[in-house]
Amino acid sequence: MGKTYSKMYDNAQKAKVVKQLTPVYHEWKKEGDRIIGAFITRTEVQSRLGGQTYNQYLFDTDDGLIKFAMGRMADSELQDQFIKGGIYAIEYRGKEKIAGGRSVNRFSVEEIGATDEIEGAGTPEGAKAPDKSPARK
């Protein structure tokens, strides 16, 4: 008897239990764009323009996994605010001109609550999740 992985996949799709693990990249294009979901993690990325680093954030949303960048200014203001499993509403407020003819992205970020469905939920990014195993005697 041959393997039935294809049938398992078809059945899972019909039952709507397939979970997409590949995140969709969200680009902030217009004011009012919004993402609402649970924070999973952030990853430092090296920019091809100038070689500086910025963060990509990964969120679990009603539409699946979404990753996005906010820009270095927003990173410096917000990166330490996100807690694993924290639920946030992030709204793009457009660009703001700053010195030197440059501009920065502006956001409104609101904390809504938390979920325990994310592994390590309740811990700051980079912190070790509490050990939930029974204590040794």
d(CA 62, CA 30): 21
Domain boundaries, the chain: 21-114
3-state secondary structure of 127: coil
On the 0-12 / 13-18 / 19+ scale of CB atoms within 10 A, 29 is exposed
* Per-residue pLDDT of the chain in tens (137 residues, 90 and over written 9): 567 999 999 999 999 998 888 999 999 999 999 999 999 999 999 888 777 899 999 999 999 999 999 998 899 998 889 999 999 999 999 999 888 888 889 999 999 998 888 877 776 655 544 444 444 44
> Domain 21-114 falls in which CATH fold?
OB fold (Dihydrolipoamide Acetyltransferase, E2P) (2.40.50)
